[in-house]
Structures are given as C-alpha cells and as structure tokens.
Structure 1
Amino acid sequence: MYKQRWILILLLLSILGAAGCSLSQPVANGGSSNQAIILDTTTPATEVAAAPETAAIDEEALAARVLAEVQAQLATAQAQETLSNIAYEANTALNTNDLESTLINLYQQANPAVVYIVVPSVGSGSGFVYSEDGYIVTNNHVVSGSRSFEVVFANGDRMAAELVGTDVDSDLAVIKVAQLPEGVKPLPLANSDDAQVGQMVVAIGNPFGEQGSMSLGIVSGLGRSLESQRQLGSGSSYSLPDVIQTDAPINPGNSGGPLLNLAGQVVGINSAIASTTGTNSGVGFAIPVNAVRRIVPSLITDGSYAYPYMGAGFDAEVSLEEQSVYGLTQTQGTYVVSVTPGSPAEKAGLIAADPTTGRGGDLIIAIDGLPIQDFGDMNKYLVFNTSVGQTVELTVLRGGETITLSLTLGERP
C-alpha cells in the first residue's frame, strides 16, 4: 500500500514538473497553435490548448485535474487494503476461536482426572489418574514423609489414598484410591520423544490450593536434566535426563500435575521451577512422560525402580578449556573423571583421569554404536533403553586410539 501511494505521489509530482517545463518554453511560431499535454490515465486523453504567447496556461486547473485522478486511485488502493485487513482480522478471530474451543474441550476432558492431594500436617500438591484401578501418579516430593493422603477430585469427591511406590531419583511416586468416581478416566500418555520446542502445552493443577487451575504456555526447551533429591557422599548426584522445560506458569501446588499437549495427552509431570522468589518465573520443568512409562509400572508392582549402574563419574560437558586441560583431541563425548572400586566400570576396564593432572581418562564417544555428544546423551540411553544386568558396548578414545569395551550394568545403589 505504501509503495503504491508513493508511486502515485511521484506520478503527480512528475506530471506537474512536466507541465512546469512546458510553461517555461515559448510557444512555437508566436501564434495560436494547438499544443497538447496527454495524461496517462484510464480516462480519454485530453488536449489542453495553448493560449496566445502573451497569455499564461491555467496552471491551477491542470494541477486540479491531476490531483483528482491521483486521489481516485489512492481511494481505490485504500479500499483494497481495508478489505485485505478485514479478511486478515476475520482469519485471526477464527483461529482464536478454534484455540479457545480446543482449550475449553481439553479442560473439560482432562480436569476430572487431575486430583488435589492433601498431605496431613505437611502440605498439598497435584496428581493425575494413571489407571482405571485407582492408581494416581504424582511427585515423590509431594508425598515424601507420609503414607496416607486425602485425594480431592474435580467433582468434589474426597477419598483416602495410600502410598504404593516412590522413586527419589526421578521424583515420581504412585498412590492409590480404592475406587475412582463415576465417569473419571485415566489421562492418555503421549510420547515425550515427539515433543518439540514451540509446541503449545497446558498445565492443570492446584497452585496455592486453587483446585483445577489451568495455565497455557509452550515447550521452551528439551533435553534438560533434573538432579535427584538425594545427595551422594561425594557431593555428586544422579540426574534424570530428557526433562522438558516450559513457560506454562507452574507454582507451588502444581507439583505432580500433568503437562498436556493440545490433544489432552500427558507429555510431562510438572516437578520444579527455577526461581529466586519460589514462584513462577517462566522457567518450569516437567518429568518426561517416557520416564513415567518406564518407571511407574515398577513402582506399582515392586514399590521401587532399579536403575542400571556403571559406577563411574563423568564430566557433563567438555568445554574447550577442559579439552586443553584433559589433553583431548575433541570435545564430543563424556569424559571419565572417576571410577568406583569394584564397580561395573572398573570390571570393564574404564580408566579415570589422574586426579592431580586431569589427564589420562577415557573419553566415551558412543554406546551400543550410538554416538554421544555429552553425558546427557549417554544418561538418556542408559535410563530409557537399558536394564540391570544388560551388557553395553562402549566406544572409547584412549591415548589417541579408539577401543571398544563391554560393560555389564549393575544396579544403582
């Protein structure tokens, strides 16, 4: 539109300029010859006769005709732009209405399966119905320190629940009610490997005790890690890989509630926030639902989950500075900084870095043929694809050579 307007204005100026040049020139032969200026418009060409030499051409009339034509074309262009804007606004409204309908339907379908968990003398949190026989998934930190709970459903039904199983390293727990209220169905589970940054998600839970609250956001990041709540004697800790970062508002009380895609499927379990105030800062973290798929069945049957164990400590990411310190030829991989005596790692022959120089350790660059960029890649593979007693093949860079080691995984202590 702006381009058209400038073209028309320039056309007006050029025509008036041309008219000015004609007026500055003497009329040929000094008589009453018919000199014409032709306007390039959609109207018939118009002849403007020159007056005798001693008379001036009607400059104002010419300008008025040109201006009228330009204004007519501007009006047409403006009308087209207005119609275009109306169409755009209509489409925007349609999309907004579609999103609103989706969110309303999602809430109506999912909220009955989201519960408010009251922990006597401790606090409260959220959870969601996992199975038709009354199992409910929540966070370990919500139920920690108690074995009996009160569960409040969206319809107001209150039921007693008992603890079934917990896993501190994933921050997952399972509780159970004797029977679900009529009409309440388990929430379907997505595949968290399908999650994408920018994907819209909603969190449903009970922030600050406000039951059945829903908030909207996006997946802000993937492949984050969540440290275990238990600390090892060495000051290090285990971590859960492949955690989902979201900006959907998560506050105290949301813990254990579902993070859902717009299809109403659980993609994660809201677990933690990064904040200096203890409330939402736009950086929240959800346990990937694939961890639920892998860990929760064992919590139901055994009350706990057995993680595979290598028995080695690693540098999470090798920086360029560390590459120089360690004397490595590349940064891709995970560097062995310690090996626990008697562990599967020691039995497999993994070599740790010299604690005084930082050099001489093995750099693991692949596991079972899968290249790894850092410790997060290897940890994800171990947690989601291996089991206790399974043997894995490690591709290792050692002293400039590539070797393969077989390691039989133990059970994490």
Structure 2
Amino acid sequence: MRNQNLFALLAAGFLMLGLLCVCSVGAFALFNGGNVPLAAPFESSSLEPSAALPASTPGAAFSTQPIDLPEDALAILRAEEEVLNRVYESVAPSVVNISVSGNTNSLLGDLGQGSGFVWDKEGHIVTNNHVVEGAETILVTFSDTTQLSAEVVGTDPDSDLAVIHVETNPEFLHPVGIGDSAGLRVGQRVIAIGNPFGFDRTLTIGVVSAVGRTVQGRANFSLPNLVQTDAAINPGNSGGPLLDIQGRVIGVNTLIYSQTPRANSGVGFAVPVDKVKSVVPHLISQGIYETPYLGIGALPFPLTPELAQTLALDNVTTGVLIEEAVPGGPAAHAGIRGGSQEVTVPGIERILITGGDVVVGIDGQPVRRFDDVVNYLDTRSVGDTITLTVIRGGEQMDIPVTLGPRPASVP
C-alpha cells in the first residue's frame, strides 16, 4: 500500500516541484530588483559578522536553517526522492560497465567503455552493437566490482543491439524488469542509469521528449521508432537501460545528438523496449536478427500540394514519392515503380527523380512521409506481406509486397 501511495504522489510532486521553482525564481527577481547582475561577485567589506557567534571563530558563521516550505509540498518531494532511490537501489545491481579492447568503432579508440544490463539468470547481458562491435576482449564489471570476461552471443547492427554472455553463478545475477514502450507518452518521467565517461552506475532523470523518431543508422538505413529523451546521456551510457518510474526497462540508450562532440545536449535516443523484446531472443537463440526490407529509395521530405503540382503529379496532395525500386528487391519484384526523370525545383538543393509511384498508404494506414513507412516496417517481420496503396499516373491502386531480409548494403 505504501508503494502505491508513493507512486500516486509522484506525478503531483513533479507539478509541485515546477511551481516551487517558478515561484523561487520570481521571488529572487523581485528581491534583486534587476539592479544587481546574477553573477555579481561578493564584496567582503559589505558582509557583517554573525551576531550570534564571535566573528573571530573560523568557519562558525554558517546556517542550518532550511527553506520554509509547505509540509504537503515537502511530503510530495520526499516521495519523489524515495521513488528515485528505490529504483536506483533495485536496478543498479543489474547495470554493468562494459570495457572493450580492439574496438575501432569506439569513441575512445582501441579502448572503449559502455553500459549494459542483465537480461536473465543464464548470464545474458544486453548492450549496444556499437559498444562491442570489433572488440577483441570484453570485460564486464558488476556493481560489487566483480569483473568477468564476456563473449558476444549475437549482434544486430540494424537495431544497434547486441547480447553478450558471462559465466557465473545464477544467484549472482539480478535481471532487470522489462516494461513496454507502445504506450509511452510525451512528458512521461524516465530514468537513465549507466556509466558516462566511466563513472559507474550514474543516475539521471528526464522525460520522454518524443516517440517514433527516426535517425540515420548504418549503410544509409535508418534507426526507426526511437524514444527521444532529455535525460542526460553521454559517451559510456550506450547500452544502459532507460527506465520508467517503477524501474522497468522501456528502452536501451543508444545515441545522442550534439553539435559539441562527446557532450550531452539534452537530445538523446533509446531503442524502444518492444523492439528489444523482439530482437534479443533471436540474438540469444540464433546469433542474428533479420530486419524486414522493402527495397525502395524515396524523397526524404513529404510531398506538398504545391510540390506535387510542380512535379505534375495528378491526384496527389501528399505522400512519399518513390525515386528508386531497388533492382531485385521486394518492392521491385512486386511491381512497384521508381522514377526515371531528373528534375530541378527552385528552392530545393537536390535533384529530384520523378515518374515513380507515390505511396499514400500502407496496410490501410495513411502515409505522409518516408518515416511513416520506415516506422511501420519496424513492426513487421521478414516474410510478412504488406499492402502498399500507391498513385500511378493519377490512378490509385493497392499492391501486395512480401518483405525480405535487409541486405548488409545496397547498390
């Protein structure tokens, strides 16, 4: 019952915390009057010695008086602290530090570090593919400083996930709880635990900033359906868990977007745990995971009515213009058509390839941008048949396509 009350109070706590912060800033602005810079240095001549203690007593003039806050607000904030501490105490033993050597893809050169978390009692540990890719040796450090050698069980560059394995007593291992990512909402509180810059088991907090993000992955392919968060993620956090407030994994921290190399900018991304739950069992049992592949190249930005008119696309107001159906790929095999005419449009830097089909739907769902296609394919499997709704020469038609395995590279 106590746990339920704690979690019930948490949401109100975050709201109260924000209000208190706003009120504090406002009160300071009023007190400051706007006349003294916030970073103004102290002038020792203006400071009076404490009246309660002799001025000659070194270090005696300090105060233990806390800020006066309403008791109900304090109770909510203490509940938040209690929740964060309980999550940390529960999950930290599941989070490991991964040190690798011979990893030429590491930001640290031949010696790299990352994070991971215990998946099961059999010794499987989940991390990022880029943490262990190319590694000659892998050393796993647990929360009690125990160090064990690990071997790679399986990797999937397309999802940037990997599974490694350690040999140890099952009683020593503490698998972390696994949650769901399908129901994640923007604004939901999240917690990251990892080893940024080698500082082991560091906790940071934030919110879900967005869901369904797509960023550039390997070989011109994309990493789809990522969870964006402002929880601080830095080099060394890769492979660590992103958690909900009940300590369940909702994602695997994988990358940050920053214009300052190796520095957090508040834009981090995690592989959603529903994808992890699909990939990891395959990596454990087979060592690989086959990513479904459609085999098209498309305009990277959405069609607008104005652009469609400029390109003389009849009966088109939005959708995805297919510039290429990769020869021998599933789409080309099904009869999907790519473009053949190069067109230059004022205001658009790249040359457009026109004359191909325009995708406006996939399995009955509307398609407005290429990310819609990529994110939907991420929910399907190799061998599944999907239906693309396309417009060709002003006519709408449905074309079934059976998905194949994604190749290592495309021509």
Map 1:12-411; keep pairs closer than 5 Å: 89-120=70-101, 121-179=110-168, 182=171, 184-228=173-217, 230-231=218-219, 237-277=220-260, 278-320=262-304, 322-328=307-313, 329-357=315-343, 358-385=353-380, 387-411=381-405
Q: Deviations over 1:4-59 (max 9, x none)?
A: xxxxxxxxxxxxxxxxxxxxxxxxxxxxxxxxxxxxxxxxxxxxxxxxxxxxxxxx
1:181 Cα deviation after fit: 6.3
1:326 Cα deviation after fit: 3.4
Contact 2:158 2:291 in 1 (8 A): no
1:399 Cα deviation after fit: 2.0
Paired with 1:325 and 1:155, the residues of 2 have a C-alpha distance of: 65
Paired with 1:406 and 1:314, the residues of 2 have a C-alpha distance of: 18
Secondary structure of 1:384's partner? coil
Please identify the structure whose Cα radius of gyration is greater. 1
Contact 1:393 1:405 in 2 (8 A): yes
Q: Give the superposed CA RMSD.
A: 1.8
What amino acid maps onto 1:140 in structure 2? N
What amino acid maps onto 2:393 in structure 1? G
What amino acid maps onto 2:387 in structure 1? E
Question: Which consecutive residues of structure 2, in runs of 5 or more, have no partner in the other structure?
Answer: 1-67, 102-109, 344-352
Paired with 2:225 and 2:341, the residues of 1 have a C-alpha distance of: 30
Output the TM-score relative to the length of structure 2.
0.74
Question: Which consecutive residues of structure 1, in runs of 5 or more, have no partner in the other structure?
Answer: 1-85, 232-236
1:365 Cα deviation after fit: 1.7
Paired with 1:281 and 1:306, the residues of 2 have a C-alpha distance of: 33
1:331 Cα deviation after fit: 4.9
Say if 1:312 and 1:187 are closer, same or farther in 2 by CA, change over 3 A. same
Contact 2:303 2:319 in 1 (8 A): no
Secondary structure of 1:192's partner? coil
Secondary structure of 2:125's partner? strand
Say if 1:360 and 1:137 are closer, same or farther in 2 by CA, change over 3 A. same
Q: Which segment drifts farther, 103-112 or 284-293? A: 284-293
Give percent identity, aligned residues only.
Answer: 45
Paired with 1:314 and 1:186, the residues of 2 have a C-alpha distance of: 42
1:214 Cα deviation after fit: 0.4
1:330 Cα deviation after fit: 4.3
1:166 Cα deviation after fit: 1.0
Q: Which segment drifts farther, 143-152 or 240-249? A: 143-152
Say if 1:287 and 1:396 are closer, same or farther in 2 by CA, change over 3 A. same
Paired with 2:354 and 2:258, the residues of 1 have a C-alpha distance of: 37
1:333 Cα deviation after fit: 2.7
Contact 1:348 1:405 in 2 (8 A): yes
Secondary structure of 2:379's partner? helix
1:183 Cα deviation after fit: 5.0
Q: Deviations over 1:247-281 (max 9, x none)?
A: 10111111110110101111111111111222111
